Amino acid sequence: MTRSADSEFEFELRVCGWAERNWPPADARDPDTIPIVARQLGTKHRRWDTVIVEANADALAARARFGSGRLDSALLGVVRHAPAEWLWYRDALPEPDYPWRYVREAVHRAADRGILETRRRGNRIELRREWAYPDWVERVIAVENKPDLTASAARALAEQIEHDVALSLADEVWVATTATDRPVEPVLLEDFPVEAGVLVLGGRSTGGDEPSSVDDASVAWHPRTLAVDEPGTRILDRPTGDPHDRSAARFEYVSPERKRERRLVIAERAYERGWRSYVDTMRPDCRQFELRRDGRDGSRDVLPWCAAKERRQTAAECAGSCPQFEPEPPAWRSKGWPIEGGPGSAVERLLARRRERRRPDTPE
C-alpha cells in the first residue's frame, strides 16, 4: 500500500468531515437546508468519492418516520405511490417493468418495517400508507477527492468528470484537492470540464506562513449547475485519440425520470450510511485500532489510527489479512462498563452516535 493511497483515503475522510460542518462553501448555510454527507456511493457505472445530499429540514424530519434504514428502489416504488385509503395493490401502484410478484414482496417488506398497512380481502392484498413519503432531496452534489493531483491522475479524472457532466445525474460536480504554495493551483491548469468546480482545502492562513485550520477552504473555480431535469448522456465508449483509431463514440440517453429515481436511491443510501460507515469494512476489534483526533489546528475530525503502523491506515489495509492484526482477547468483550463489549464495539457505537446526530428526530 503506497503512501499516496494512504493519504487519499485520509483526505477523503477529512473532506467528508469538512463538508458536514461547512457545506456549502463560501456561502452562509441556509438553516432550512441540511447536508447529508456520505462516501463511495453512485451507480453501477460510476462511484463518487463523496456525495452531499442537500435536504429540506422539514421534509427530512418527515423522512425520519420511515426509519434509519434506506428504502431501496422496490420499496420506494411502493411507499411513494401508496394510497391514503385501502386499495388493491395493483390498482394503487404503477405498472412495473418486472413481474408483479416482486412488487408483492416489496409490499410485505414495507409492512414488516411498519411504514405501510396491508390487509387481505378475498384473494387480494390491499394496502394504504402510514405517511406520505416526503420530497426531501433538494440537490445532489458529487465530489472527487484528489489530494495529490499528478498529471496521470488528472487525465484519468478528467475523463470521469466528462462522464459526470454529460450524464448530469448530480446537480454539481466538484474536484477537491489540497492547497499548494504556488500562485496558481495546479488543478486549475489541468484539462477539466469547465462545468466542474474546484475546492481547495487546507490553504495558508492570511497571517503568514503558518498552516491554516483544516476547516479553511476556498473555491478556486465555481461549478455550473447541471441540467438534472433534462435527458442525460451516458458515454459508453469513445475514440482513444490515436490517429489510427477510427472507432465511433457510443452513448445512450437516460431519461429525466430514470435520473430522478437514481438520485433518490443514492440519497436514501447516503441517509442510511453517512460517511462514518468506513468502520464497517475495517477491523475495530483489532488491538491496534484506535480513533485519534486530527492533530491539525482547528480540526474536530476523529479518524482511524493504527498503533502498529504508527500512522493512519486505509480501509483496504485494515483487514484480517494484515500481518499486524491482533484480535481483542475474548475476555475484553465479556466485560461490562466502561467498555461494554470491548473497545471495538465502543468504537462502532461512538461512530453510530455521531451519524445519528445528523438525522432529525421523528416528528410527533
Letter for the amino acid at 222? H
Calpha distance 106→38 (Å, rounded): 26
Calpha distance 138→274 (Å, rounded): 17
Question: Do the beta carbons of residue 190 and residue 149 sit within 8 Å?
Answer: yes
pLDDT of residue 49: 95
- Give me the DSSP letters along 341-363: T-HHHHHHHHHHHHHHTTSPPPP
Calpha distance 12→102 (Å, rounded): 37
pLDDT of residue 201: 87
pLDDT of residue 355: 75
Q: Name the nearest CA neighbour of 351 among 83, 13, 120, 27.
A: 13
Question: Do the beta carbons of residue 172 and residue 226 sit within 8 Å?
Answer: yes
Q: Name the nearest CA neighbour of 174 among 224, 227, 229.
A: 224
Q: Which residue do the cell numbers 488543478 mark? A: 187
pLDDT of residue 145: 93
Integer angstrom CA distances of residue 239 from 154, 192, 236, 249: 19, 18, 11, 6
Calpha distance 248→1 (Å, rounded): 38
User: The whole model's pTM is what?
Assistant: 0.86
pLDDT of residue 67: 92
pLDDT of residue 215: 63
Q: Name the nearest CA neighbour of 54 among 41, 35, 39, 37.
A: 35
CA dihedral 104, 109, 112, 113 (to 10 degrees): -140
Calpha distance 44→73 (Å, rounded): 14
pLDDT of residue 7: 73
In our burial notation (b when 16+ CB lie closer than 10 A, e otherwise), range 108-126 reads ebbbeeebbebeeeeeebb
pLDDT of residue 354: 77
In sequence order, what are the residues at sequence separation of 6 or more whose Cβ sits closer than 8 angstroms to the Cβ of residue 159? none
Calculate the CA 229 to chain-centre distance.
21
Starting from the edge strand earliest in sequence, which strands make up the sheet with 172-178, in order? Answer: 33-42, 47-56, 137-145, 172-178, 197-201, 217-221
Calpha distance 173→155 (Å, rounded): 16
| Length in residues, the chain | 364
Q: What is the pLDDT along the chain (364 residues), one digit of tens a residue?
A: 444 444 788 899 999 999 998 999 877 778 899 999 999 999 988 999 999 999 999 999 999 999 999 999 999 999 999 999 999 999 999 999 889 999 999 999 999 999 999 999 999 999 999 999 999 999 999 999 988 877 677 778 888 999 999 999 999 999 998 888 777 777 777 778 899 999 998 754 333 344 445 567 889 899 999 999 999 998 887 766 666 666 667 889 999 999 999 999 999 999 999 999 888 889 998 999 999 887 664 566 788 999 999 999 988 899 999 999 998 877 766 665 445 566 777 788 878 777 776 666 666 5
pLDDT of residue 171: 97
